[in-house]
Amino acid sequence: MDNLKALKPPVEVFYEKELKALEQNDKEPKPKNWRLSPQAVKTFILGSSKSIEYDGKKIKINKKFFGDDSLIERCIITLAGNRGLMLVGEPGTAKTMLSELLSAAISGTSNNTVQGTAGTTEDMIKYTWNYAMLLGKGPTKEALVPSPLYTGMSKGLITRFEEITRCPAEIQDSLISILSDKVLNVPELGDEGIIFAHPGFNVIATANIRDKGVNEMSSALKRRFNFETIFPINDVSLEAKIIEQEVGKLLDESEIKIKVDRDVVNILATTFHELREGISSEGSRIDKPSAVMSTAEAVSVCYQTVMSSYYYNKSKLKVDSMVQNILGTVVKESREDIDKLKNYFNIIIKAKSLKEGGLWTEFYEARKWIK
């Protein structure tokens, strides 16, 4: 299957030309077994004002992460060292995306991944066996089925560990000795079962602040990681730009030719920002819903609204549809949050509609769907 035709192409496929252009022009020092130098990795993630020559064409390196630029430098240096990288923050703050970008730029693949869940076991992280071969030939290398951590160590690749705190504590702690000694032992294989990590190996883990208390990390494991916190975007205009950009990508992938209305996106970004922060742009206090009002959720709401207008309203975007999708986001955690959304519309959005008119008035009138 052509990876470019996948619903969600891997980062290394989606940005293949950018990565190849950077690699071809990369003259900076790089850690052993890294695809790009730390400087080129930073450029890949944060973008460049100058285009790069590749295959007879000028390739523009676009900015992919919007936030604290210095955080990117610290992440890259951590991965070049001997400690793992832990990305923490609210859901929807692009932790996973950042880990994918780092892995693709450093190792050439973002798919060497463990997905943490309550059901994650140690063999899903390290290795398991082909039991038919195990019964027939005994414990041999041919019968061993490598898991992501084994693969990362033996090939010198970044291993991504998503939602690590969703895993039971004893499963998390299986990483302690590996991150300390960079050695994985397969007792069944005897002397051949000692796997030393190759240069380039490291671990990027992610954890949601809202999962705090689910399965707390031990102090011993925490000491093996450098922690970086990714905060929600606090600039409404920047958040609107990201929503528009990401929805544009999704529409291109769906081969839907429709322009995203900038004014509608601005209203959506303002709504999410105010509900997330608990304060309006005019300084009024707002009861914050318990639901995650992240930029990622805003992208989903906008995309759903545009899709609805494309298929049902002859490409005419209706604010009613957006309000319905916002409601769907708010009630994910608790139906009690409906009253908070109603109050927000009856006070904050009403005031904006009286002051601004136009789309704000349509937005306020669409409150009828909040019930």
DSSP string, 252-272: HHTT------HHHHHHHHHHH
Closest listed residue to residue 272, CA positions, set 238, 320, 321: 238
Sign, CA torsion 104/106/111/116 = negative
pLDDT number for residue 2: 58
Please provide the DSSP assignment of 79-133 as one string.
HHTTSEEEEEESTTSSHHHHHHHHHHHHHS-S--EEE--TT--HHHHSEEE-HHH
CATH of 3-230, one of 3.40.50.970, 3.30.300.30, 3.40.50.300, 1.25.40.20: 3.40.50.300
What's the pTM value of the predicted model, to 2 decimals? Answer: 0.90
What integer pLDDT is reported at residue 1 of this predicted model? Answer: 45
Per DSSP (E only), the strands in the chain are 52-54, 57-59, 84-89, 113-115, 127-129, 144-146, 158-162, 183-185, 194-196, 202-208, 225-230
pLDDT in tens, the chain (371 residues): 455 566 778 999 999 999 999 999 999 999 999 999 999 999 999 999 999 999 889 999 999 999 889 999 999 999 999 899 999 999 889 999 999 999 999 999 999 999 999 899 998 999 999 889 888 888 888 899 999 999 999 999 999 999 999 999 999 999 999 999 999 999 988 888 899 999 999 999 999 987 665 678 899 999 999 999 999 998 999 999 999 999 998 998 888 888 888 999 999 999 999 999 999 999 999 999 999 899 999 999 999 999 999 999 877 778 999 999 999 999 988 888 999 999 999 999 999 999 999 999 999 999 999 98
- Which residues are paired to 54 by β-bridges? 57
- Which pLDDT score is estimated for 213? 55
Q: Distance between CA atoms of 150 and 154, rounded to whole angstroms?
A: 6
Ranges of beta strands (E only) in 123-245 are 127-129, 144-146, 158-162, 183-185, 194-196, 202-208, 225-230
